[in-house]
Structure 1
């Protein structure tokens, strides 16, 4: 793989954890950002699972595309599999990503497996808030994750109204 791109829609945007030589605002069609994954590792436990972002079917998602230098392709791919596939709740995809400059590139991203036991079907904001408030995992508080994600997206100029609404609900 000589032209390796990665699409980030959540924490990869501000904490990629891999080397890249170019980054661009990008859009992915066919999926939207959603708190649709129960986390019993990074932001929750088996007893009190939290909620983390996934790409769910339908719509589109604005994020960042990272171009990985050819010499770092295998290392980056292996790192992403280890990071994203802790519980095999994501399905690896490679599809077109639309860069802000008009280019279309094939990029790697991970979508929610709707048949997985950790897939959280459409929850209303109040139920999400109840789950998130009581959850804490290896990477910290689930409340911090949601609030910081909303703030980071806002700072990057990537609006996400449902995440903003939930962050406000969690801070009240």
Structure 2
């Protein structure tokens, strides 16, 4: 499929249902539906894929620079989650959804990733060993109020130490992502540095194999 333009809307118009309709329209319902996973979708995809491949996206990188006030933090003690932010490149996994269930799986994915419409859904050109595919990815604008920018180590350590939400601690989320990437043979030097930082300050066990 050709790559349609990204869905970029101001915060007041970020209706998740509207965004889903636009993605469905761009997909068309007949082409293979691919999804790009770069963090929790690697270690907890929650959908059945009929195919998966290692993939690289250029122009975007994985960054722990998105505020989480529900899943990995609270309004009083916000946590962080990974997002795709412009610049650089990112290695991850692309998943091809079962054509018989693609519509239902897309709806489930939307409930998970887009309950508040915070991301900019985008069809990403992904390079795989078997060729290029266009995959749905969830990117974050640097203009978003949920974008933190690069935080210093003291701020990161405070969040890793204290932030927890509906799905657990930010620290566990980072460690799970590190494990998931390692199992797939994907190196991410910044995540590896974060794990070392957490260990050095007694936040993560040294014998975990992370």
Normalised by the length of structure 2, the TM-score is: 0.78
5 Å-filtered alignment, 1:1-150, equals 1=29, 2-101=31-130, 103-150=131-178
Aligned mates of 2:144, 2:75 — CA distance in 1: 15
RMSD: 1.2
The count of residues paired between Structure 1 and Structure 2 equals 171
Normalised by the length of structure 1, the TM-score is: 0.94
Aligned mates of 1:165, 1:137 — CA distance in 2: 23
* Structure with higher strand content: 1
Query: What SS does the aligned partner of 1:117 have?
Result: coil
Contact 1:89 1:113 (8 Å CA) reproduced: no
Alpha-carbon shift at residue 158 of structure 1 (Å): 0.5
Contact 1:89 1:119 (8 Å CA) reproduced: no
Aligned mates of 2:55, 2:81 — CA distance in 1: 21
Aligned mates of 2:70, 2:49 — CA distance in 1: 27
Query: What SS does the aligned partner of 2:177 have?
Result: helix
Structure having the higher Rg: 2
Aligned mates of 2:35, 2:87 — CA distance in 1: 20
Gaps of 5+ in 2: 1-28, 201-210
Alpha-carbon shift at residue 113 of structure 1 (Å): 2.6
Aligned mates of 2:60, 2:86 — CA distance in 1: 5
Gaps of 5+ in 1: none
